[in-house]
Amino acid sequence: MEGLTESATLTRDNLITGDFPLVHKPFNILAGNLKRGTVLGLVLLGAVASAAKDGGNTGNGTLVVDATTPRLANCQAGVYTARCVAADTHEATFQVRDPRGRDIGTVSFSGSGASGTFANEIKFAVTDGSTDFIVGDGFDITVAAGSGGAVKSLTTASDGSQNPVAILAAPADATAGAIDAPGYISGQFDPNLLDLADTGHTEATLASAWLGTPIFLRAAA
């Protein structure tokens, strides 16, 4: 399925409306038994882990990545930094920068054993310890790159697959392991025939996400 035009191996049915050029390409489907018409997203982000900055810290407080939603909207792969920019007895303020070095906010705590929560692109809590932090202490929070494979796009995902990129062109059963399957990246499709069950996506949200791309939604007349 290396060709980039509609081939005889793909069924032309009511999913496709109009004559806008159809283009498909292979995707590595990571999981699930997916129907033709499934909206695909790519897994671009992986696990999130934190560690004290190189050289260690004077303070023995902790930074713990959120166990449920460590990645938030606009999260990027790479290393985020949290550095202490103000400190006092059982008080500290950390400045957070994204992998490109952009300042994305601060997080503070005040009080013995107190914690502060940061929630912008990534989510974590920094907590006071028995030995105070000093200016210059800090942590590195690493967001691993994802595999780049495709899964059914869910709006609740946070690994990049929440962003729709293609429409599955043929059924694909990846329950026993990843497989390659074609996905449409251009064409006009009937939104009523997309498999949107339990995805959180709607015709309106998909149309907005695909604005400026060669994927169009239009119900059959």
Task: Return the pLDDT at 10.
Answer: 55
Q: Label residues 165-186 b or e (16+ Cβ within 10 Å = b).
A: bbbbbbebebeeeeeebbbbbb
Q: What is the pLDDT of residue 221?
A: 73
Spatial CA neighbour of 129 closest among 108, 116, 114, 141: 114
Residues of the chain predicted below pLDDT 50? 1-9
DSSP 16: B
Q: pLDDT value at position 9?
A: 46
Domain locations in the chain? 23-44+147-217, 45-145
User: Which residue matches tokens 């119900």?
Assistant: 219
pLDDT given at position 8: 37
pLDDT of residue 18: 84
Span 23-44+147-217 CATH architecture: Beta Barrel (2.40)
Q: How confident is the model at residue 7, as a pLDDT?
A: 42
Q: Specify whether the CB–CB gap between 41 and 185 falls below 8 A.
A: no
For 97-119, b/e burial (b = at least 16 CB within 10 A) is: ebbeeeeeeebebeeeeeebebe
What pLDDT, on the 0 to 100 scale, is given for residue 1? 37
pTM to 2 decimals? 0.84
Is 41 in a helix, a strand, or coil? strand
Which residue type sits at 18? G
Helical H runs in the chain? 203-209
